[in-house]
Amino acid sequence: MGWFVVSEIDTFINEIVADIRQSPHNMIDNKWHNVISGSTLSFESLCLINALIEKLRPKNILEFGCGVSTQFICDVIKDHNDCNFHSVENIEKFLIQTKSSLETNSNKVNFILAPIEPMLINSCLFVTYSKSLLNKLDKNAHLDLVIIDGPLGRIFRRDAPLFLIKDRLHPGSIVLLDDSNRPKEQEALALWKKIFGDSIEIIEVPDFHKGLTVVIIREELPHLSFCARFRIQKIFDSIYSVWKNIGYMNKIKQLKLE
Ligand SMILES: C[S@@+](CC[C@H](N)C(=O)[O-])C[C@H]1O[C@@H](n2cnc3c(N)ncnc32)[C@H](O)[C@@H]1O
């Protein structure tokens, strides 16, 4: 990425969003309508991703939660030889299914299997993708475009993925949070704003299906620091989440292709 100045990204995003609201069907092939469902990214979100990739030409894209989004991004970048695409997934079965759906495009994506587990990020307990995923990314690579559409929103929170990859972001990076109309995602956005302040700009697009939010990284992100009260709250929240979802977590560990 390089043609633009960071302050112009919001204008560009607002223009694209207005175009998508007006006529999404002119923006990407209608065939994508046939594969989207309630658990995939929406048609409008795919339109936005397409526009961002075509205009900003990101060199490193990372998504949390594979599926239709992976197929779509591989298709958009199929002729972009300088683009690295990483897809993080916690369920092996979905990762294998998605990989096999890609056919000739499968070499365009680096799949990273990262289980969901309790972990400390700057002395604060979260339940999220294993930190080991960072070892599978080039140490020097800056992430230009990040799509957070996992882990499964009705079970887990989606606040921690941004903290995990914080050091790989740079001014101008764009992070998309899917399903952002939901209460837990709204809490994640409020937390990000509290922690990162004016270093990030948040553009909410609530009228896209279940809501989509664009987070623009405007400046180098400050050092992560969580207050004692929040850390205590997170200990209870994370223990409760593991206890409540232990059955689900065991089930997904064992999910294999028949
Ligand atoms: C919203 S989905 C990701 C969708 C993907 N980005 C797409 O556009 O198709 C988020 C996560 O939910 C989990 N998931 C999806 N379907 C599931 C199912 N039927 N049972 C359990 N977990 C599921 C997967 O781990 C997936 O990464």
The amino acid that residue 97 corresponds to is Q
Residue ranges of domains in the chain: 6-254
What pLDDT score was predicted for residue 234? 97
Identify the sign of the CA torsion 180, 185, 191, 196.
negative
Residue 170 has, within 13 A of its CA and on its CB side, a CA count of 13
Beta carbons within 8 Å of 5's beta carbon, 6+ residues apart: none
pLDDT, tens digit, 9 for 90 and up, residues 177-221: 999 999 999 999 999 999 999 999 999 999 999 999 999 999 999
pLDDT of amino acid 50 = 97
Kindly indicate the confidence band of residue 256, based on its pLDDT and cuts at 50, 70 and 90: low
- If you write DSSP's letter for every residue of 21-63 in order, what string do you get? HH-GGGTS-GGGGGT--TTSPPHHHHHHHHHHHHHH--SEEEE
- The answer, yes or no, to whether residue 2 has pLDDT greater than 90, is no
* Structural contact between residues 213 and 177, judged by C-beta atoms closer than 8 angstroms: yes
pLDDT tens digits, one per residue of 94-117? 999 999 999 777 788 999 999 999
The identity of residue 199, as a single letter, is S
The confidence score (pLDDT) of residue 41 equals: 97
Ligand 1 atom closest to residue 72's alpha carbon, by position in its atom list: 8
Quick one: pLDDT band at residue 5, thresholds 50, 70, 90? confident
Cα–Cα distance, 230 to 121 (Å, whole number): 13
User: Which residue minimizes the CA distance to atom 22 of ligand 1?
Assistant: 152
Q: Per the CATH hierarchy, to which homologous superfamily does domain 6-254 belong? A: Vaccinia Virus protein VP39 (3.40.50.150)
Sheet strands side by side (includes 212-217): 109-113, 84-89, 60-64, 145-148, 174-178, 212-217, 200-205
- Name residue 78's amino acid: K
For residue 28 the two structure tokens come to 């990407």
Mean pLDDT to the nearest integer, 229-246 = 94
Q: Tens of pLDDT along 136-148?
A: 999 888 999 999 9
Residues 6+ apart with CB under 8 A from 190: none
Pocket of ligand 1 (CB under 6 A): 39-41, 65-69, 89-91, 94, 149-152
Spacing, Cα 247 to ligand 1 middle (Å): 17
Give the SS3 label for residue 70: helix
Q: Which residues pair with 84 in a beta bridge?
A: 60
Mutate to test the pocket of ligand 1, among 33, 37, 39, 50 (most ligand atoms within 8 A of CB): 39
| Pairing of β 109-113 and β 84-89 | parallel
Task: Tell me how far CA of residue 112 lies from CA of 65, 88, 95, 163, in angstroms.
Answer: 10, 5, 8, 18
Sequence-distant (≥ 6) Cβ neighbours of residue 103 within 8 angstroms: none
Residue-level pLDDT at 257: 54
50 Cβ contact list (under 8 Å, min separation 6): 27, 28, 72, 76
